[in-house]
Amino acid sequence: MANYTEWNQALISYFLKGVPRGSKIYLSVDDDVLDRMGQGFFLTLSGSDNWSDDFQEAIRKDVIIDKQVNLNRIQGRDENDNPNCVAFLGACVLAAYRMANEEKISQLNYFKRLREILHLSGSLRPQGMKSGKEAEEHLWKTWNYWLWEQGFQPSAYPGRGPQKYINYPISQCLLRQADKDKLQVLFAAKQWTVSWDAQTLLTQIRREPLSHHLQELVMENKQRTEIVAEVIHEVYQQWQVQGSPATPNKVGRTWSRNLFAGLYRVEDPFFGQVDYYLYPKQQRGRQLESVQVEYENRTQTLSEERPGWYLPIGNPLKVDDLEQGLRCSVVSPPELDQLILPARDFWLLIPDAENPDSGVYASWGTPALGTAFILLCKRELLNDIYRLRDERLLEWSGEPEPIAENSNWVELTQCLVTSQAYDGVFMDNQTLKDALQPRVRLSISFSGGLRVPNQRGWLAGHCPQVTVFGFAPRVELEVSNLLNEQVIVTRSQKMNQPLSLDLPGTGLYLVRATYGKESAERLVRILDWNSLELSQPERREFMNIGDKYSICGSIILPIT
Amino acid sequence: MTNVQRWYAGFRYRGNVKQLVDKISEKVLEHDLSEFVPLVRIEKGAKPKGFYFFIAVETVQPGDLPESVQSYLMPLPFFKSPIKGKPSFSYDEIKPMVGAAHDVHDYTNPIPYKIVESDRNDDPFQIIPTSTEQKIPDIEAISQRYQQLLYWLSATGNGTWELFKKACQALEIETPGRILRRLKLLGHIESSVDGRRWSAAPTSLVQIESQSETEKFILCGQQTGHLLSILEQYAQVNVIHHSRGHAPDGLQIQLTDSTQINPIIEQVKTSLGLSIQNRGNVANQLAEILPELKEWTLRLRSLPGIVPSLYHWKRFESDDFTECVFSQQTGLYQMWDLDGGDRSRLTLFYDAATNSWRQGDWYGLRFLALQHREQPCIARYDRVKARLAIPYSQRWPQLYERALVLASGQLPNYQKTEQSLWLIYENVGRELVQQLTQKLQVTWEEDEVTTNA
C-alpha cells in the first residue's frame, strides 16, 4: 500500500508532469484518475480492492487521529519543497466529484461524502475542520501559492455564502462520470474513429446537442475549456484504445497509446526562409522515461524541451506532411503506438510566452487576447478569413504568403483577433471560427522591462508594463503582494493601454483585472540583481578561425 | 445553442455624415446596444445631399430588429428611410458600396491593431563611427549599467539580436551594435556568423603579461555579482574601469604565485558549482592561430544571390559612403532599398576577384577596403610602456583587435593628436605586435625606429 507522502508526491507529479508552464491547474481527482495514477506510479496493488480505496486509506492513516480530522501533519512543505496538503485536498475533490455525480450541491451532501472517504459517520463538518478558514481554506491557499511559484495558474477559488469553502473542491471538478458516459455514447453514435486532436474534437462536440452540464463545460470561459478539451480528448483516445465500444466503459483507467505533435516554426532572420518542424507534445501526467520514434527512416529519441513538449525532431516538414498529417511508430516504450501529426486545415502558432523575443512560433496553445499570432492555413480557408477581416474581427499584416512554391498552404502573419462579435458571422470552417472566437473578455499581458527568461521574472528597477486586453472601455486593475496579500495598486485602467508597473521590491505580485463578473490574473515575479544565476546556454556560438580552430569569448577550441 | 447571424439593415439619409455617426454611436453606447449592432458602415464617398448607410445587426432571424434597437435607435431621424423591398442585406451584397476599409464605426471596443515593424533590415554589424570626444560625466554610473547588462546576458545564456537590443534599451544603453562588439572584444560573449544570435561565453580566467612579480588573470565570460564576491574572498581582485565607462568593469585577479589559481577555481566550483576554465595567455594563442588577412577575407561569410540592380548602392570613399552605380569594383558598399528608407539594409564588402559579397564586422570590412585601396595602414608601439597605438580610422577586424584587448582585459583608450585620433592598447607584448601586424600587413614604428611587417 502506498502511504500519504507517496500519494501526495504522485498527485503533484500527475497534475503537473507534461503540463506547459502558465497553464491553469485543476486538481481534478476522481476514481478513474486515482486508478490510472496507481497503475502508473505504484504498479501493484496490495491490501485494497482498487487504487481509490488505497488512496483513501492512506489519507485516513495520516489525517484521522482519534476519530477526528487532524491536519497538523500535512501543513507546510516537504524536503523537496512540495506542499504536504495535496493528497488531502485531492480527497476533498473526490468528495465533491461523488456529490456532483449523484446529488445536489450543498454543504450537507459534500461533507457526507467527505466523511465517507474519511470513515467518519454523520454529515456535518467533521471534528477538526470546524473553521473552514483555518482548516481547508488555508491548505487551498498554500496549494495556490505554490502553483504560482512554480509558474502555473491555480484554479481553486472560494464561493459565496454557505458554499464559500466547499467551492474550492467543487471548482476543481471537470468531467463527471455521467459526462464521460455521455461522451462515449456520442462518439459511438457518430462513429468518430479518426484521430482528431483536442481542438478539432471540441469543435465537433460543440455542434452536437449536449446535456446542460456538458454544454456549459464546452462553451464557457475559454481558460477552462482548454483543459476540458484535453480531458475530453483523453476520454476520446481511451474510448478508441478500447476498440470504440458502443456502450460506455470505465475509460479513465487506461492511458492513451498515442502521442500528438504540433508545429514548431523558425524563420531565417535575414533571408526570411520559414521552416516547420514536427514538435511532439508530452502526455499530461504520464511518466515516460524514454520515448523513441521511427521518423525519417531512423530511430529518434525524444528529449524534453520544456514542460509539456519534447524538442522538435527531424528535417523541415514538407507541404504534404501538413496536408496529410503524419504517423510515426513509437519504438519504445511498448505502452505507446504512434506519434501523430493530425491533418488539419489550419494551425495557429503563437510566440513563446517565456521568451517572446526568440522569434520562434509554435502550436503552444490558443493566442491570448492582444497576442499577435501566425495563421497557417489551406488556401480554401481564405474566403472565411477575408470575411473575418471585412467584419472587423481579425486583422493581419501583408498578404497571405505561400509557404512553398505553388503551395496550397499560406501563412498570415501578425494576426490579431480584434473583436469578440463572432457569433453572427457565418463561416464554412467552423473549427477555425471556434479557434479564433474569443471566449474570455480579458487577458493580461506583460511587455518591456528586463525579463530573465530562465528565472521567469523581471529584474528589480526594470518592471514590465502591464496591458489588459479586452473588449470593454475600462477595467479595474489590482496589484497585490502574493505573500501578504497587501494591495499595492488599485485603479480603473483604460483597456488595451499599457501601464508601467512600479513595484516596491523583489517578490511575487498578483495582477488582477476585473470587468463585471469576469476577471483575469497573472503573476509577475521581481528578481533581485543578486539572485541572478548563470545559465547554461542552449546553444553556444563559436566563430571559426581558419579551418582548425574556433573561438567563443576567450575559449579557443580545435574544430573537430 | 441559437444561431445568431450578422446581417445588415440599409437606410438612405440626407444630411451631415458626421452628425449621423456621432448620434448613432451615442445611442449605441448609451443603451449598450453593441451586442446587437456591432458596427455601422457608410457608403463610399458619402455626400450630405444623400447617401446610403448600413447597420450590422446580429439576430437569429435576418430582418428582425431586436426590441431594444427598435426602441432606442430607430426613432432617430437617420432611420426614416429604410431601403425599400429589402429588409436585410448580406455583407457581400453591400460590399461594393461600402468597401472593406471605408467608413466603419465599430461599437464592440475592438482591440487596436498595430503592426510591429519587422527589423529584418536591421544589420547587427552596422556601426556608424561617431565622435569619440564625448565627455563622460559619471563613468561609474554608466559602467554599472554595462555591468548589469553582462550579468543579465550571463543569466539569460543566449538569445537573438532582437533580445540583446531590448535588454540594452531597458538599461538605457545606446548603440547596441557597439556594445556587442566591445563584449566580444572582452571575451564575454560570441555572436553567430550572421550576427543574429548571441551566446554568453563560458567563464574563464585568462592570463596576461605582468610587469611585476605578481601573476595576473582577467575574468572573461559569464559572471554574476555572487561570483565576484566569492573571488574577492580568495584573491586580490582589482576592478578596472574602462576609459569611458562604456563596458562592464574589468576584473583582474592578482596572485603572488600562479599555483594559487587552481585552489581558487576549486573554491568557486564548491561554492557555486561553476567550473571556471583556466585558458592561459589567450592573446598570444589567438595571435598565433589567426590567419593572414587574405585568408581571413576568403573565410568571411559569403552572401549569394544578391542582384545588384535591385538595390541602390553607396561606396566607401576616403572616410564616407557616397552614391555610386555598382560596377563590380572591389570595395565596401552600403546596400539600400530602391524605395529609400532611413537606413541601409546591409554593409558588405564586394570582392571582384571572387565575385562575392562578404559579410563581417564593420571595422573589419572597412579595414579590408583600406587595404584594397592600398592605403598605408600603420601602428606605433611604445616598448617601454608596452602600448600599441592604432589610428582610429584604421581600426582592426574584431578578431585581431580581440587579441589586443585580451592582452590586458581593457578596451583601448582614445588619444587625440593634432592630426588624428588614436586607439591605445595596454600591456601589449612586442611579439604580439609583430605577429598581428604581419598578418594584417600593417606597418609599425617602434621608438622612432620604423619596422616593416
- pLDDT tens for each residue of B68-102: 999 999 999 999 999 988 999 988 888 887 765 44
- Cα torsion through B432, B434, B438, B444, rounded to 10: 120
Segment 93-112 of chain B within 8 Å of chain A by CB: 95, 100, 104, 106, 108-112
Nearest to A530 among B4, B226, B299 (CB): B226
Give dist(CA B238, CA B269) in Å, integer.
Answer: 21
Model pLDDT for residues B42-72, shown as the tens digit of each residue: 888 778 888 899 999 999 899 999 999 999 9
B118: left (phi over 0), alpha (psi -120 to 50) or beta: beta
**A289 & A327 share domain:** yes
Q: Which residues of A touch B154 (CB under 8 A)?
A: 532, 534-535
Domain boundaries, chain B: 5-106, 120-280, 301-359
Q: Which residues of A touch B274 (CB under 8 A)?
A: 534
For chain B, say whether A424 makes contact (Cβ under 8 Å).
Answer: yes
Nearest to A545 among B152, B227, B289 (CB): B289
- pLDDT, mean of residues B232-237: 93
Q: Are A201 and A238 in contact (CB under 8 A)?
A: no
For chain A, say whether B317 makes contact (Cβ under 8 Å).
Answer: no
Chain A residue nearest residue B92, CA to CA: A387
- pLDDT, mean of residues B221-227: 95
Q: What's the pLDDT score for residue A473?
A: 86
Give dist(CA A287, CA A41) in Å, integer.
Answer: 8
Predicted TM-score (pTM) of this structure: 0.84
Q: Which residues of B touch A540 (CB under 8 A)?
A: 158, 190, 199, 201-202
Give dist(CA A7, CA A19) in Å, integer.
Answer: 19
ipTM for this prediction: 0.82
Number of domains in chain A: 4
Residue B111 to residue A418, Cβ atoms within 8 A: yes
Model pLDDT for residues A446-482, shown as the tens digit of each residue: 999 999 877 889 999 999 999 999 988 899 999 999 9
Q: Which residues of B touch A397 (CB under 8 A)?
A: 115
B29 to A130, A428, B34, B109: CA distances (angstroms) = 49, 32, 7, 10
Nearest to B189 among A414, A469, A553 (CB): A553
**A282 & A413 share domain:** yes
Segment 172-231 of chain A within 8 Å of chain B by CB: 206, 215, 219
Residue B450: pLDDT over 60: no
For chain B, say whether A499 makes contact (Cβ under 8 Å).
Answer: no
Q: Which residues of A touch B407 (CB under 8 A)?
A: none
Q: What's the pLDDT score for residue A286?
A: 84
Q: Does residue A188 sit in helix, strand or coil?
A: helix
**Residue, of B348 and B138, whose pLDDT is higher:** B348
Segment 472-491 of chain A within 8 Å of chain B by CB: 472-473
**A80 & A107 share domain:** yes
Q: In the predicted model, what is the mean pLDDT of chain B?
A: 88
Q: Calculate how close chain B gets to A436, using CA atoms only, in Å.
A: 14
Q: What's the pLDDT score for residue A270?
A: 60
Q: Which residues of A touch B158 (CB under 8 A)?
A: 537-541
Model pLDDT for residues B285-314, shown as the tens digit of each residue: 999 999 999 999 999 999 988 999 999 999
Segment 273-292 of chain B within 8 Å of chain A by CB: 274, 277, 279, 282, 285-286, 289-291
Chain B residue nearest residue A269, CA to CA: B120
For chain B, say whether A399 makes contact (Cβ under 8 Å).
Answer: no
Any domain includes A456: yes
Any domain includes A547: no
Q: Which residues of B touch A543 (CB under 8 A)?
A: 190-191, 193, 399
Of the three residues A436, A468, A494, the one that is the final residue of a domain is A436
Q: Where are the beta strands (DSSP E) in B248-386?
A: 250-255, 277-280, 301-302, 311-317, 320-324, 331-337, 346-351, 356-359, 378-382
Q: What's the pLDDT score for residue B146?
A: 95
Chain A residue nearest residue B168, CA to CA: A450
Segment 103-162 of chain A within 8 Å of chain B by CB: none
Please give the single-letter amino acid code of residue A76.
G
Please tell me the total number of residues recorded for chain A in this structure: 560
Chain B residue nearest residue A473, CA to CA: B109
Q: Which residues of A touch B222 (CB under 8 A)?
A: 534-535
Q: For residue A108, what are the domain limits?
A: 4-170
Q: Calculate how close chain A gets to B242, using CA atoms only, in Å.
A: 18
For chain B, say whether A452 makes contact (Cβ under 8 Å).
Answer: yes
**A394 & A506 share domain:** no
Q: Calculate how close chain A gets to B447, using CA atoms only, in Å.
A: 31
Residue A369 to residue B111, Cβ atoms within 8 A: yes
Nearest to B170 among A419, A448, A555 (CB): A448
Q: Are B209 and B383 in contact (CB under 8 A)?
A: no
Nearest to A357 among B4, B120, B162 (CB): B162
Model pLDDT for residues B159-207, shown as the tens digit of each residue: 988 899 999 999 999 889 999 999 999 999 999 988 888 999 999 999 9
- What is the separation of C-alpha A167 from the centre of its chain, rounded to a whole number of angstroms? 21
Q: What's the pLDDT score for residue B368?
A: 95
Q: Calculate how close chain B gets to A8, using CA atoms only, in Å.
A: 31
For chain A, say whether B446 makes contact (Cβ under 8 Å).
Answer: no
Parallel, antiparallel or unpaired: strands A518-527 and A457-459 = parallel
For chain B, say whether A497 makes contact (Cβ under 8 Å).
Answer: no
Give dist(CA A290, CA A99) in Å, integer.
Answer: 39
Query: Is the four-CA dihedral A206, A208, A213, A216 of positive or negative sign?
Result: positive
Model pLDDT for residues B99-116, shown as the tens digit of each residue: 654 466 777 778 888 876
Spatial CA neighbour of A347 closest among A411, A303, A292, A417: A411
Of the three residues A137, A152, A170, the one that is the final residue of a domain is A170
**A160 & A185 share domain:** no
Give dist(CA A111, CA A90) in Å, integer.
Answer: 14
Nearest to A545 among B157, B226, B399 (CB): B399
Q: What's the pLDDT score for residue B453?
A: 45
* pLDDT tens, per residue, chain A with 560 residues: 889 999 999 999 999 998 988 889 999 999 989 988 888 888 777 777 889 999 999 999 999 998 899 999 999 999 999 999 999 999 999 999 998 777 787 888 899 999 999 999 888 899 888 888 888 999 999 999 999 999 999 999 999 888 899 999 999 998 888 888 899 999 999 999 887 888 889 988 988 888 888 888 887 766 677 888 888 998 898 888 888 888 877 655 677 889 999 999 998 766 678 999 999 999 988 878 789 999 999 999 999 999 899 999 999 999 999 999 999 999 999 989 999 999 999 999 999 987 787 789 999 988 999 999 999 999 999 999 999 998 889 999 999 999 988 899 999 999 999 998 888 888 899 889 989 998 888 999 999 999 987 788 999 999 999 999 998 889 999 999 998 989 999 999 999 999 999 898 999 999 999 998 888 999 999 999 999 999 999 889 999 998 899 999 999 999 98
- pLDDT, mean of residues B219-225: 96
Give dist(CA A339, CA A196) in Å, integer.
Answer: 13
**A370 & A470 share domain:** no
- Cα torsion through A78, A79, A80, A86, rounded to 10: -10
For chain A, say whether B7 makes contact (Cβ under 8 Å).
Answer: yes
Q: Calculate how close chain B gets to A554, using CA atoms only, in Å.
A: 5
Q: Where are the beta strands (DSSP E) in B69-145?
A: 104-106
User: With helix as H, strand as E and coil as C, how does A39-101 read?
Assistant: HHHHCCCCCCCCHHHHHHHHHHHHHEECCEECCHHHCCECCCCCECCHHHHHHHHHHHHHHHH
Residue with cell string 591605445: B424
